[in-house]
Structure formats: C-alpha cells, structure tokens
Structure 1
Amino acid sequence: MKSFGTLSFGHYGPLGGGRQLSAGESMLQAIDLAQGMDDLGVNGISFRVHHFARQQSSPMPLLAAIAARTRHIEMGTGVIDMRYENPLYLAEEAASVDLISGGRLALGVSRGSPETVVRGYEAFGYTGAEDPRGADLARDHFGTFLHAIEGNGIAERDPSSPFGGGSGLQRIEPYSPGLRSRIWWGAGNRETAEWAGRMGVNLMSSTLLTEDRGLPFDILQAEQIDAFRAAWREAGHPGEPRVSVSRSIFPITSAEDELYFGGRQDGDGVGYIDGFRSTFGKTYAAAPDVLVEQLREDAAVMSADTLMLTIPSQLGVAFNLRLVESFARDVAPSLGWIPSTERAPVSLGTA
C-alpha cells in the first residue's frame, strides 16, 4: 500500500436529535478536513457525487477550494456520473482544477450508481441512451472527455475571428498536460475493469462488485485487478496504472470509537443493487494491531497501491481527523505507507 486517503459520501441534512448539517456546512467541513489531512501527509481526499440527493453534486468548486488551501494532498471524486456531464465543459473544469492544484487532481468517473430519481440524466438534457441504465451514454461522454483532455482539436477555427482566426481544429482551453494520466474509471465488475485497462485509465474499485460467484469479496476484487492490469498490458499502454480500493476501516482506540463502531465488524454480504446480484465487502473495526493483520490478509488491499477509507463525514472534522490520524499513525506504516510530505507528489498512471 503506497498511498491512502478518504472517500466521503458527503451526506448532509438531519443528523438526529434535532441537529441539522447544511450543504454549506458540509462543504466547509470538507475543506477543513482536507487541510488537516494534508498536514498529516495523507495522500488523497475524494468525494462521492450524486445528483438529486443531499450529497455533493458539483464537486469542482469544492476541489478548487481544497487545492487553494493545501499543498500535497490529491483531491478527487469517486465517482462523477458521466451520464449527467457535458464532456467538454467537464474537460475545461478538470483542467482548471488540475492547474490550480499543481497536478493534484485524481478524477474518478464512471456510469454512476443507482439514483434517487428515474433517469435523472434525461432531466439534465442527455437523452437517447439505448441501455436502460444509460451505460452507453456514459461511455460516449467519456470518450469525448478523454479526446478533449488529450489536447486534440474539437471545433473548427473561424478564419475571420477577431480573436486569432487561423484554420484547423481548436482544442479546449485551458489544457493541463498531465491530466490524462490522473483519470480513474470506477469499475463494478471484471468486464468494466478490463475495458478501463484497454482505455488506459486508472482503476477505482469500491466495496461492492456486481457479481456473485461464491468467492470472498477480496478474492473477487483481486481477480478484477489482475484482469485490469492484464488488459492494460495487452493494449500496449506504457508504464504502470494505478489501482485504488475502498474499505470501511475504523481503528478503535477510545471509548467513543467503541461506542460508534464496536461490534460493527462483519463478513462479506450478498444482495441486489441496480438489478444485479452483488457481493459487498466487509467492515473492519478493531484495535490497530488487529487491523494490520486483517488488512494483510485482504488480497485486494495488498494488490492495490491506494486504499481509500470511507469516512462518516456527518460526525464532523475533529472526529474524522482523529480517525484518519489513528490510521496514519498506528496502521498504515505497517502496510508500507509513507506520508506524502516525505516524498515527491504521486503521479497517477503514466505521463
């Protein structure tokens, strides 16, 4: 495990007991948490993106604010739903944030997860999908997005324009040369992982897979990672791709931790999501020394280079910063982690 970071679902709204967390408070707390994690040398902070829900829906302003307040930490998404995106506008925004941050954007994109509405992307104006879940629409948008951030020409220049004219195709601006190597695809099964490998983007794998073959979750996920890397090599892409996995991991070091997470450690689960029989990863909640041994036995964690901790963002900055600090101090070094403040910034994928 070379790197670790957090994945926040960014929920806001009622917290129970008459307490409320507003959208503004949620974003301001995310910025404060990122700054604290940057000071600790944590490698990354990412946010789930959901439309029509009380979660982050337009992450670029948040990521730009984090970039302005931090020096080392990667900031990203897990994942942006490409069904909803204007791919050229997203390319402009992503390049802007990448340049502001000095090349620290780790942008995770995918088809997205089940929604709270019916085909919400159509309300955004994106229609015509033949796939009932819009997977074809997401991949079409993704292809255009990649073409744009690679610096390829998009629109015909106007030779009579008072702003430069010329001939040929004009690329989008701004352009960030290294951004293409910092794009991740969120894959939920072996087929989409292999597709990501052929496309030459990094792999982001979460705590569920839309398959059930009677195998432990970590074994299924390790097989997915192997298939992704094989597809990358077979496609002839240079260098080594990045791979991240996410886990619910809670070091128990206090009575408060025990109150929230004691007894929550469980095994893999099997259920249905988005119409697919799926396998869900387990929760890890134990003393730090126990966590080290358990994570060393997790085949996918050991295969990936980046581990993302799903954090309970509703519990506030101080609580989550203490949780992350405990993992950084008592667990991560035994898994091979080196703080970002003690090494050169990580370059995701190939340049």
Structure 2
Amino acid sequence: MKAFGFLSFGHYGHGRRADEPTAKQALRDAVDIAVGADELGVNGAYWRVHHFAMQQASPMPLLAAAGARTSRIEVGTGVIDMRYENPLHLAEEVGALDLLLDQRIAIGISRGSPEQALRGWESFGYTGSTDPRGADVARAHAAQFLDAVRGVPQAKRDTVNGTVMGGTPADSDDLRIEPHVPDLDRRLWWGAATRETAEWTARQGLNLMSSTLLTELSDSRGTSFADLQHEQIMRYRAAWREAGHSWTPRVSVSRAIFPIVSQEDERLFGRARQGSADQVGVIDGMYATFGKTYAAEPDVLIEQLKADAAVRAADTLMLTIPSQLGVDFNLHILEAFAEHVAPALGWEPSSAGPVTGYPVD
C-alpha cells in the first residue's frame, strides 16, 4: 500500500436530531475533514456520488472547495455515475479543476450504483436506453467524455460570418473541448465491479477503482471477497500489459477499517470484530459480494490487512468513513490509522504533488 485516503458517502438528513447533519453541515464537514486529513499527510479525499438521495450529488463544487483549502491531498470521486452526466460539460469541469488544483485530482467514473429513482437518468434528459440498468448510456457517455478529455474535436467552427465572436480565433475548423490538459486521462479511474469490467478498464487506459462490492460470485465456493478482488486486479494488470499503454496505472480498493485505540472506538466498533465476515446479497437484480469490516487493535489490524490479498496488490487504500459522526471523530479514525497501522503496510505520507502508481509487474 503506497497511499491511503478516505471515501465518504456524504449522508445527511433533515437535521431534526442533534446527530443528524443537514446538507449544509455535511458539505462543510466534508471540506473540514479533507483539510484535517491533508494536515495528517493522508493522500486522498474521495466522495461517493448519488442522485435523488440525501448524499453528495454534484461533486465539482465540493472538490473545488476542498482543493482550495488544501495543498497536498488528492481530491476525487468514487464514483460519478455517467448515466446522469453531460460528457462534454463534465470534460470542461474536470479540465478546469485539474488546472486549479495542480493535478491533485482522481476522478472515478462508472455506470454507477443503483439509485432509488426508477431510470433516474431519464429525468436528466438521457433517454433511449435499452438496458434496464442504463449501462449502454453510461458507456456511450464515458466514450465521448474520454474523447473530449483526450482532445478529440467535438464540434465544427462557425465560419458563416467569416469571424469568431467573443474569443480567440480557433486554429482549426475542428473544435476541441477547452481547457485541454495533456495527460488528464491519467487521473481518471473506472469503478469496476466485475473481472470483465476490470479488463475493459485496462483497455480504455484508465486507472482501476475496484468497487466496494463485486457483482459476481467466485468460481470456487468459499473464496473470500479479498481474493476475488485480487483476481480482478491481476486480470486488470494483465490486460494493461497486453494493451501496451505507455504509462503505469494505479489501483485502489476500499475497506471499512476502524482501529480501536479508545473506549469510544470500542463502544462504536467493538462488536464488528466479533465475527465480521464477507456478505452475499442481491443488489440491482444481481448477486453481489460485500467485503467485511475490519475493527481491532492496531497490531491485529496490521496482520489482518497484510493477509488481505487485494490490499496487498493495490497501491491506494480508501477507508470508508462514518461521515455522519462529524469532523473530529472521523479525523480521529484517520489519525489512528496513519499513526498505528499504515506505516506497517508501506504507506508513504502525502507530498506536494500527485500520487503515482506502482510499476506494472
């Protein structure tokens, strides 16, 4: 493990209870957690994106705010649901964000997780999907987004009047999305929940953000979530080598990890060490495997995480945090992990620059 960060689901409520943050408080807490994490040397701050729900839905204002108040930490998403996105508008926003934050971004995109709205992307104006889960819309939007980011022209210059109004004359009749940032695609990730999607991700030249759940079962009964995820990572890296890309990618996994170093930790998470295990359930009409929660004293956590094949294989670990518990407690979790656990796993504290991936074996 070379880097670690936090992954926040950004939940909020109506603020009717003292422990229930409002939307405003959740956003401000998100920024404050990022600021505190930056001071601790944590490498990344990432947020889930969901629509029609009391969670973060429009990530760019949040990423810009967090990035403006930090100097080292990488900010990103895990993941933006491409079914709901205008790909050219997103390319403009990501390009501008990357320039403002000196390449401190890690933008995860994918088909997205199930939403509580029925075919909610159609309410955003994206109709015509023949897939009940909208995967065809997501892939089409992602393809145009990647083309736009990579400088492929997306429109023709208007030459009717022989002049260009309101800006610098274009160098070509073929217009690309601006701002264009060379190599911006190296800071883009795809969230993959299957081995097949991981291989597709490699062929697209994207970093791999292995999902918090895998929508497939192991070929061998009894194989753990970590081993199944490890296989996904190995297939991704093999596909990357086969594709012949000229740079080395990054791979991230996420885990719920709670070092128990105080009585409050014991009260909140002590039960999780009494038999937490992988779970299999049904989500979006498919079987899915969910990873277990890690909660224990630091020395026990170190041994457990060293035995997690996917954590060993990834260069970036995202800790899913209980953001509703507020800034101080979440920074306590991150500090405990940074001080007592991460160094034993090979962690390198954040420096003033973007994180780079491991060489591909």
Taking structure 1 as the reference length, the TM-score comes to 0.96
Match of 2:138 in 1: 138
Q: CA deviation at 1:346?
A: 1.3
1:94 corresponds to: 94
Return closer, same or farther for 1:175/1:167 CA change in 2, 3 Å cut-off: closer
Counterpart residue number, 2:335: 325
CA contact (8 A) 2:104 2:353 kept: no
Cα separation, 2, equivalents of 1:326 and 1:308: 15
* Paired residues of 2:280 and 2:287 also in contact (CA < 8 A): yes
**Cα drift, residue 168 of structure 1:** 2.2
Show the counterpart of 1:206.
211
**Partner residue of 2:53?**
53
Q: Deviations over 1:22-59 (max 9, x none)?
A: 11111111111111110111000000000000000000
3-state SS of 2:75 partner:
strand
CA distance in 2, matches of 1:208, 1:35: 28
**Residue 267 of structure 2 aligns with which residue?**
259
Q: Which residue of 1 aligns with 2:320?
A: 310
Q: By how many angstroms is 1:349 displaced?
A: 8.6
What SS is found at the alignment partner of 2:20? strand
Which stretch shifts more, 208-217 or 95-104? 208-217
2: CA distance, partners of 1:19 / 1:242: 37
Please name the residue that 2:151 is paired with: 151
Q: C-alpha displacement at 1:178, in angstroms? A: 3.1
* Alignment partners' CA distance in 2, 1:103 and 1:166: 26
Maintained 8 Å contact 2:10/2:26: yes
2:281 equivalent in structure 1: 271
CA shift, 1:292, in A, is: 0.2
Q: Give the counterpart letter for 2:42 in structure 1.
A: V
Whether the aligned pair in 2 keeps the contact of 1:52 and 1:117 (CA below 8 Å) is yes
- Deviation of residue 199 (structure 1)? 0.5
What is the distance in 2 between the residues matched to 1:20 and 1:255? 22
Match for residue 177 of structure 1 among 182, 189, 192: 182
> Retained in 1: the 8 A contact 2:256–2:321?
yes
Deviation at 1:326, TM superposition (A): 0.4
Counterpart-to-counterpart distance in 2, 1:230 and 1:15: 48
Deviation at 1:153, TM superposition (A): 1.4
CA deviation profile, 1:80-104 (whole Å, cap 9, x unmatched)? 0000000000000111111110001
- Counting aligned pairs with the same residue, the percent is 61
C-alpha separation between the residues in 2 aligned to 1:329 and 1:347?
Answer: 22
Q: Deviations over 1:151-182 (max 9, x none)?
A: 22111112322342554211111122232100
Name the Cα RMSD after superposition: 1.5
Between the aligned partners of 1:283 and 1:16, the Cα distance in structure 2 is 29
The unaligned stretches of length 5 or more in structure 2 are none
Are residue 223 (structure 1) and residue 231 (structure 2) matched? yes
Q: Does 1:298 pair with 2:303?
A: no
- Helix, strand or coil: the match of 2:126? coil
Matches of residues 275-294 of structure 1 in structure 2 within 5 Å? 275-294=285-304
Q: What is the alpha-carbon distance in structure 2 between the residues aligned to residue 82 and residue 17 of structure 1?
A: 34
**Which amino acid is the alignment partner of residue 108 of structure 1?**
G
Show structure 1 runs of 4+ deviating over 3 A: 14-20, 347-350
Unaligned runs of 5+ in 1: none
Q: Is the 8 A contact 2:315 2:358 kept in 1?
A: no
The answer as to whether partners of 1:103 and 1:178 remain within 8 angstroms in 2 is: no
TM-score (norm 2): 0.94
Between the aligned partners of 1:288 and 1:84, the Cα distance in structure 2 is 41
SS at match of 1:21: coil
Give aligned pairs, total: 349
Does structure 1 residue 241 correspond to structure 2 residue 249? Answer: yes
| DSSP-derived class of the 1:263 partner | helix
Is contact 2:19-2:325 (8 Å) kept?
no
Q: 1:146, 1:262 → 2: CA distance? A: 44
